[in-house]
Amino acid sequence: MTRKTKSNLEVIGIYAILAVMFVIIAYPLLWTIGLSLNPGTSLYGAKMIPENWSFVHYQWLFTDPRSDYLTWYKNTLIVATATSFFSVLFISLTAYSFSRYRFIGRTNGLYAFLLLQMFPVLMAMVALYILLNTINLLDTLTGLIIIYVGASIPMNAFLVKGYFDTIPRELDESAKIDGAGHFRIFFTIMLPLAKPILAVVALFNFMTPFMDFILPRIILRSPENFTLALGLFNFVNDQFANNFTRFAAGAILIAIPISIIFLALQRYLVTGLTAGATKG
């Protein structure tokens, strides 16, 4: 086999793998879009490309008095924005401490962060429920935000710490000579240089409340406090049982704020996704 033939086979193999991955990703997405445009309510008889398509389900979500979709959307945006902001703040502070300072328990603390990620989240659900009930934050968005922020710190702090390690310490020392304090160094030097990895952290933590179902299911009880994942579940389970077309329409709209954040941060994401693990 010649080198050219071998190279062509490799290219064909790469494109074949990409084609398979595209089908795996695009097929359910196209089905969901088609399902949301079907005028009926049942999953059976629906088509990927509906003959008599309409936006009746999207209209129902925003205009019908029985729909709490806008309330769920607002709740999710509040939780997602607060989670993203406070996660970036606390993660960057924690990572900066581990990267730039030497203190008793530093190494063990890093190992503890990694160890905490090895246990499934379900193991802590009972404890979290009792904790929030004790401090009267059960069935509140505040309690949900606190859990999301706390859960995001261990692994992300380890990742951001690795990125901070790549920033030369000479910058810190020069700033100290000029009279800058610890917080000024952190906010004016470290954070601007760490934009790529912080953009990744912000995006992932913004996405979590839109995708997560289990934690809101355990913590939230009142329909007016539901997030989108929990509220849309009612379309196929409770009040609007088996209404898969409205469920699909509501699920498609989830992508809008995530896409906006992605487009706003895209110039940092590629760099950030490949950074952070270069040093421990």
Task: Encode pLDDT of 184-218 as tens digits.
Answer: 888 888 888 888 889 889 999 999 999 888 899 98
How sure is the predictor about 20, in pLDDT bands with cuts at 50, 70 and 90? Answer: very high
Report the candidate in 217, 205, 211, 203 with the shortest Cα–Cα distance to residue 254.
211
> What pLDDT, on a 0 to 100 scale, did the predictor assign at position 270?
64
> What pLDDT, on a 0 to 100 scale, did the predictor assign at position 187?
87
Q: Is the pLDDT of residue 19 over 70?
A: yes
- Backbone angle region of 151, left / alpha / beta, with phi > 0 → left and psi within -120 to 50 → alpha: alpha
> For residues 202 and 222, what is the distance between their CA atoms, to the nearest angstrom?
28
Q: Which residue has the higher pLDDT, 100 or 279?
A: 100
Report the candidate in 80, 48, 93, 74 with the shortest Cα–Cα distance to residue 194.
93
**CB-based burial label for 76 (10 Å; 0-12, 13-18, 19+):** buried
> For residues 258 and 203, what is the distance between their CA atoms, to the nearest angstrom?
8
Q: What's the Cα-to-Cα distance from 224 to each of 2, 71, 97, 150, rounded to whole Å? A: 67, 7, 39, 24
Chain mean pLDDT for the chain: 84
> What pLDDT, on a 0 to 100 scale, did the predictor assign at position 6?
75
Q: Is the pLDDT of residue 280 over 50?
A: no
Cβ contacts of residue 43 below 8 Å, gap of 6+?
A: 35, 242, 244
Among positive and negative, which fits the CA dihedral 160, 162, 163, 169?
Answer: positive
- How many Cα neighbours within 13 Å face the side chain of 26? 6
> What pLDDT, on a 0 to 100 scale, did the predictor assign at position 36?
81
> What pLDDT, on a 0 to 100 scale, did the predictor assign at position 35?
81
How sure is the predictor about 241, in pLDDT bands with cuts at 50, 70 and 90? Answer: low
Q: Which residue has the higher pLDDT, 241 or 107?
A: 107
Report the candidate in 58, 53, 55 with the shortest Cα–Cα distance to residue 70.
58
Q: Which residue has the higher pLDDT, 274 or 4?
A: 4
- Backbone angle region of 179, left / alpha / beta, with phi > 0 → left and psi within -120 to 50 → alpha: left
> What pLDDT, on a 0 to 100 scale, did the predictor assign at position 44?
66
Q: Is the pLDDT of residue 223 over 50?
A: yes
User: pLDDT tens, 69-121?
Assistant: 899 999 999 999 999 999 999 999 999 988 888 888 887 887 887 787 777 77
Report the candidate in 119, 118, 120, 144 with the shortest Cα–Cα distance to residue 131.
144
Q: 119-142 in b/e burial notation, b at 16+ Cβ within 10 A?
A: eeeeeebeebeeebeeeebbebbe
What sections of 44-168 are H helices per DSSP?
56-63, 69-100, 106-116, 125-134, 141-165
> For residues 114 and 118, what is the distance between their CA atoms, to the nearest angstrom?
7
How sure is the predictor about 238, in pLDDT bands with cuts at 50, 70 and 90? Answer: low
User: pLDDT tens, 45-54?
Assistant: 666 777 777 8
- For the record, the structure tokens of 241 come out as 């049982």
User: pLDDT tens, 131-183?
Assistant: 899 999 999 999 999 999 988 888 888 889 888 888 888 888 888 888 888 88
Q: What's the Cα-to-Cα distance from 55 to each of 37, 38, 60, rounded to whole Å? A: 6, 8, 9
The pTM of the full predicted model, rounded to 2 decimals, is 0.83
